[in-house]
Structure 1
């Protein structure tokens, strides 16, 4: 037949390459996701310390609520906005969500006390567009290259958090907490420009992204494990960053403007150490082994943190270990969702995944704030370690051949 090559291997190699349109769409959507997540993450590394400069900022419970409030509204709206993007198109829904994100950031920048910041963060969370962005990636790519594109988006989250660790203290030191929120709003505007004018026009897929019932996802054991995993990962992240800025500042003599001097070497070293693990997992198809090892490492590091929290260098060492595990898991899990989810409800599965992530952000920040308000910082680490151990037990139950 004339449409086949005489060399059967050749067409398959070509098919596994991203086309120019796929490449541009994937890169731009990963950039859009990265900028938006950077706008959210910028608050995390310094807020617990910087909030003390505003009325009500000494209340640890309210600080935790302000940090995690956007996660609660994100959790409620992730799936509805993902479904709306199926009906009305990805671009209009994402643009609408980004406008809400910008409005909430401006409210936080103008806030006179912690309560107004909480309100602004709630409004930011109404722009729950993660599921719509990942569905846009699915629209723009063929099934055989979609996992690679999803991994680009997942990896952008880890990169965004790494950048936020360094950039956030510098912005607070130069412009204060209000200036940080103006920077977050500016990032939202950059995302708005990318979504409106840069991402190529891609028609909706012939079949709806969300075509299965929620119970189809909720009855899929491996997807439930991944949803629980991303909940745990972001619960742990937000809860320990209620404690970390203050501990690092107290033990090392750093104020919020100079915490980047700690974060930069920690994140660079963690990236160097995580690369071999990710490379091994991809080349040997050892995703399950990498997942279990990274979660086990997270348990060990978190269990050691209460002991390490009395000495600066010991605490820094545990944070290096934490970010090695975090970066591996942040890049690995979205790719695994794409591998595990059956094609007929991949979009709905991603909606549930993003909802679980948002719930983890909210729960971790609030629980961490409540625990600190009772004066026992070590309990934050122990609760995080216990939750991670439960995650390890569930991760061992993966049976999907895709892993």
Structure 2
């Protein structure tokens, strides 16, 4: 076997779980461009309740994300993923059958309660080897971005052609497809892997939660999704008021998302390869502030609105790409999974706050008030971002240890620490693994594996 190549099983796991993750995330994103316009036809609907219907999905996700991840350690990954998708299907059906805003709110809450993201990432860890896990997880990250772009275009097209109810039926079908993929394509793990790179360490949860550098990043992802959700409460209505019909709005999302995906690449390369993470981060927050101010001043000028949307999506997509990387760099060695769990929960708190906050502002003062509120959030975030320090340019690696190597744990840890670029190392005897934070430009994974092999 060539260790530098993925096995057939690893490729099936990566593609299959990427598809499951994407099909489910469509349920979060497809409603964003349409609920504030088409949803107003629902019985009892007003702007505040529409915002709550958008946000309650995130609230349920934030509540259940970490508990479901921990539960998957006990009941198994696959049963929890299938169960979560069934809950999601039930929520979609409830929303599809509802002609009132309260029915849609209840359905959206149920959708969010099927929180499977942590279980999906844990199953991916079970099914991939250490040297391919980063690649596999990067694929999931890319699929997230593509899903967002597809949902922005597909949601308005389906809703205009078939109605809001049909959109929810479509979302239910996508989730059922995810169940089929999980049961037929995704391989069954032969063992449950204890892996702190993707799993949560309960005993040290508070240690990670109060880490000041991680806290700023968690507030960052929360702010980013407050801006996303509140802006999408107002954008469809703002475009309609400017004379751009709701059935045409998918074209704006198609163009702006395509441009932003292309624009992301040089910024991410500059941030990672040139080691300018803080500069790119602060620049993106400033761009988000500029976008909110542009949308606020646009009024009925359609092309100014389009410019604001384009600025927003460029900054948003760059942030979505670099924030997980920053979490990985800043997380204490051996606690990346715990840090990512808190990060994901913060993201969904942002979804909950952004939808509800945006709906309330829209009803109180119209679209301008929503964008003013967004500008205030971006301004506060900009001030916080200036206090950030440049991150350590290190990667988190997990290296499997032999029984012989474990007997020499202290000496092995010292040998690893002595290598250039190694910031920290923790050996976990129960997992037969070493967790290392290292600058891979100075010492590669292969170098560290050779040190481990010489000890075993």
**With structure 2 as the length reference, what TM-score do the two structures score?**
0.80
Higher-Rg member (1/2): 2
Q: Does 1:249 align with 2:243?
A: no
Aligned pair in 2 of structure 1 residues 369, 303: CA closer, same or farther (>3 Å)?
A: same
Pick one of 27, 37, 52 that aligns with 2:15: 27
C-alpha contact (below 8 Å) 2:88/2:175 kept by paired residues:
yes
CA distance, structure 1, for counterparts of residue 174 and residue 329 of structure 2: 31
Check 1:398–1:101 CA distance in 2 against 1; reply closer, same or farther (3 A cut).
Answer: farther
Residue deviations 1:144-180 (CA, integer Å, cap 9, x gap): 5444333322222221111111111110111100001
1:31/1:339 Cα in 2 relative to 1: closer, same or farther (>3 Å)? farther
Q: Quote the Cα distance in structure 2 between the aligned partners of 1:101 and 1:206.
A: 27
Q: Is the 8 A contact 1:41 1:161 kept in 2?
A: yes
The reply on whether 1:204 has 2:192 as its aligned counterpart is yes
Deviation readout 1:176-200 (Å, 9 max, x if unpaired): 0000110111111111122222222
2: distance between equivalents of 1:308 and 1:18? 50
In structure 2, the partner of 1:9 is none
Structure 2: gaps (5+ residues): 395-456
1:189 corresponds to 2:179? no
Find the counterpart in structure 2 of residue 267 from structure 1: 257
What is the aligned counterpart of 1:40 among 21, 25, 28?
A: 28
Aligned residue in 1 for 2:452 = none
Asked if 2 retains the 8 angstrom alpha-carbon contact of 1:96 and 1:127, the reply is yes
Distance change (3 Å), C-alpha of 1:241 and 1:207: closer
**Is structure 2 residue 95 aligned with structure 1 residue 105?**
no
Q: Give 1:41 shift.
A: 0.5
1:308 corresponds in structure 2 to 298
Structure 1 unaligned spans of 5+? 1-13
Where in structure 2 are the equivalents of 1:128-207 lying within 5 Å?
Answer: 128-202=115-189, 203-207=191-195
Q: Distance in 2 between matches of 1:34 and 1:373?
A: 32
> In structure 2, how many angstroms separate the alpha carbons of the residues matched to 1:296 and 1:15?
43
Among residues 124, 127, 130, which one is paired with 2:111 in the alignment?
Answer: 124
Match of 1:92 among 54, 79, 86: 79
* Structure 1 residue 373 corresponds to structure 2 residue 363: yes
Whole-Å Cα distance in 2 between the matches of residues 21 and 226 of structure 1?
A: 35
Aligned with residue 211 of structure 2, among 220, 226, 229 = 220
**Residue deviations 1:55-104 (CA, integer Å, cap 9, x gap):** 123x1011011111111111111110010012222111111111000000
CA distance in 2: counterparts of 1:75 and 1:92, whole angstroms? 21
Distance of aligned partners of 1:141 and 1:338 in 2 relative to their CA distance in 1, 3 Å threshold: farther
> What is the DSSP-based 3-state SS (H/G/I as helix, E as strand, rest coil) of the residue aligned with 2:300?
coil
Distance in 2, Cα, partners of 1:16 & 1:294: 35
Task: Give the number of the structure whose residues are more often helix, by fraction.
Answer: 1
Q: Distance in 1 between matches of 2:234 and 2:94?
A: 26
Aligned length: 389
Report the aligned-residue RMSD.
2.2
Segment of structure 1 superposing worse, 14-23 or 104-113: 14-23
Greater CA drift, 262-271 or 199-208: 199-208
- Residues 69 and 118 in structure 2, CA contact (< 8 A), matched pair in contact too: yes
Structure 1 residue 231 corresponds to structure 2 residue 222: yes
In the alignment, which residue of structure 2 is the partner of 1:279?
269
Tell me how far 1:290 sits from its aligned partner.
2.6
**What is the SS of the residue equivalent to 1:398?**
coil
Shift of 1:15: 5.8
Give the structure with the higher percent strand.
2
Q: Residues 57-76 of structure 1: matches in 2 within 5 Å?
A: 57=45, 59-76=46-63
Q: TM-score, normalised by structure 1?
A: 0.90
Task: Report the CA distance between 1:392 and its aligned residue.
Answer: 3.0
Greater relative contact order (Cα < 8 A, sep 6+): 1
